[in-house]
A and B are shown apart, each in its own frame.
Chain A
Amino acid sequence: MIHTESLTKRFKETLAVDGLSLDIHEGEVFGFLGPNGAGKTTTVRMLTSLVGPTSGSANVAGFTLGQRDTDIRRTVGVLTETPGMYDNLSAEYNLQIFANLYEVKNGPEQVEKYLKMLDLYDRRFDAAGTFSKGMKQKLAIARALLHEPKVIFLDEPTAGLDPEAAHLIRDFIAELKKEGRTIFLCTHNLDEADRLCDRIGVFKTRMLVVDTPANLRTSVFGRKVVFHLRTVDEKLVGAVRAMPFVREVKAVDNKLLITLEDPESHNPEIVRVLVGAGADVQFVGELRHSLEDVYLQLVKAA
């Protein structure tokens, strides 16, 4: 649905995006992570044909960037970094303006549908300027969806929102995912990315890595299994270390932290070895590194 090849953007001396090559499939939620100033917004602006690339090419929803820009804008929905509402105008009129600009045939019905869906219908005649940040964000999401876009770009959809509002927006994004829309999600909220995204790209001027959240964890930290024992001694550590598939063993208090390639296959054997060596195994679990750990590791390394 989105294909880029060596997409590059330079602003005078500043290289904002360096040779981005990417494939995002239809119906996929793609998380685009990166520190401030990494070039995420510039990438979104290029893919929504708001700014032109310095070099490289891209195809969005079947339209070539630079050749079918109006078609791209007609097909995609964008939630910009700031809601950018007309504060003096009512919520309904704000949406009606964009329904007209997106050439939505059943404009008033679509406006009503999204106002109701995002729980703003009762405040439809109020000026957008009187809305809370969360309500403005919901209104901006409604605006991005009025024309039922196939591809949706969401730039920091939950930034600065209280937990309840952020939760509501995340639920709404999950609903969009169920509808099979392709979503390009720029976020700093790694938990949000972990929960919503099929794949994640970590970006800092250039793409550092693209994979599923689970694979990212494995590729950066490997898979670690924690064995809780009644007591841990050197004999047990030695017995585990002697096993050929064990990559690393660490003893921490009464726990053994074991790095494995394939825990599903190797855990039963480790349990047998530990029991045979006289250990009392209390319980076994996988140690999950947070996506934040993965992200920080990658960004620091870059």
Chain B
Amino acid sequence: MKKINTILRKEWAEVFKNRMVIFVVAFLPILMTAIPLGILFSTRDTTSASSASMSGINSETTQGMCPEGLSGSDCFQVFMISEFMMMFMIIPVAIPVTIAAYSIVGEKSTRSLEPLLATPITTAELLVGKCLAAVIPGVLATYGAFGIFAFGSWILVANKMLLTALLDARWLIAIFIVGPLLAVMAVVFSLMVSSRVNDPRVAEQVSMVIILPVLVGFFGQIAGLFVLNKVVISWVALVMLLLDAVLVFLATKVFQREQILTRWK
């Protein structure tokens, strides 16, 4: 555990000296929080009918997501904010991908991997340390952004029933379960990509492909192809868990010491 902790601290000491990493870690959560809060603010006086007609959304969709007792305009707000749940899911993907890309490629460019692998650290400890160094900031940033969003909602929304609806189980599953699972998937994917390229920007750009499923989810939801209700999000979490298990298993098979030494260069 001490070795994992050493790797973790070393990674953070290194990557958080990189302006690109700092920018992504700081800017992305701010952006992803400001957008839904801005929407919440701008739609707080909108009536259900006019809102629905503006966006072409039928009231059945919004009513289906709303608990009893909420007005049409409240339901519209619930619906609109739900659309942005997927945007929050970009944070635990983008931040770990950026950190992992700079971490691995940086290690390659300074040729510091061999001395590192020559120590008694196990391959698992090394990979876990590196993964955690990328996952933790992503997850914490997601939680932080969600906390600010929840606090902002509490200030902006007068109807506390609406607040309860906004912060229901769907959101909690998404933020606290799907988010970390997405982060793990993004990091393992980024590790695989970074081991093959020698430029951190290329590693980051290629690894960002992993964000596509999140964007597909985002636009699919906006287009009305599906609604992210409790059941759907629970299934997403289950699938993510299985995917992560498969990816981590593959990573432990692929990233053997010799492979890392001879391939990561």
Where the two chains meet, the residues of A that have a C-beta atom closer than 8 Å to any C-beta of B are 11, 45, 48, 50-52, 70-71, 73-74, 76, 78, 80-89, 93, 97-98, 100-103, 140, 143-144
Contact = CB atoms under 8 A, between A and B. Distances in A.
A64 B123 CA distance: 19
B112 A84 contact: yes
Contacts of A82: 111, 114
B115 A45 contact: no
Contact of B262 (A51, A88, A89): A51
Interface size class of B (residues with CB under 8 A): 20 to 34
Contact of B118 (A78, A89, A93, A103): A78
Contacts of B122: 70
A74 B261 contact: no
B258 A52 contact: yes
Interface in B105-121: 110-121
A89 B114 contact: no
B6 to A, nearest CB: 4
Contacts of B257: 50-51
Given A45-B261, A50-B257, A89-B13, A103 B120 contact: yes
13 contacts: A48-B118, A50-B258, A51-B257, A70-B120, A81-B114, A82-B111, A86-B13, A86-B110, A88-B14, A89-B13, A100-B6, A101-B121, A102-B120
Given A70-B120, A73-B119, A97-B10, A85 B258 contact: no
Interface centre among B113, B118, B120 (most CB of A within 10 A): B118
Contacts of A102: 119-120
A87 to B, nearest CB: 6
Contacts of A73: 118-120
Contacts of A70: 120, 122
Contact of B112 (A50, A81, A86, A103): A86
Nearest to A48: B118
B105 to A, nearest CB: 14
A81 B113 CA distance: 12
Interface in B1-16: 2-3, 6, 10, 13-14
A55 B261 CA distance: 19
Top 7 closest pairs, chain A to chain B, by CB:
A84-B112, A101-B119, A100-B6, A74-B120, A84-B111, A78-B118, A82-B111
B96 to A, nearest CB: 20
B120 A84 contact: no
B14 A98 contact: no
B253 interface: no
Nearest to A46: B258
Contacts of B160: none
A84 B14 contact: no
B9 to A, nearest CB: 8
A126 B197 CA distance: 30
A51 B110 CA distance: 20
A80 B261 CA distance: 12
A76 B113 CA distance: 17
Nearest to A128: B110
B208 to A, nearest CB: 24
Given A97-B6, A101-B121, 11 more contacts: A48-B118, A51-B261, A74-B120, A76-B118, A83-B111, A84-B110, A84-B113, A84-B114, A86-B14, A88-B13, A102-B120
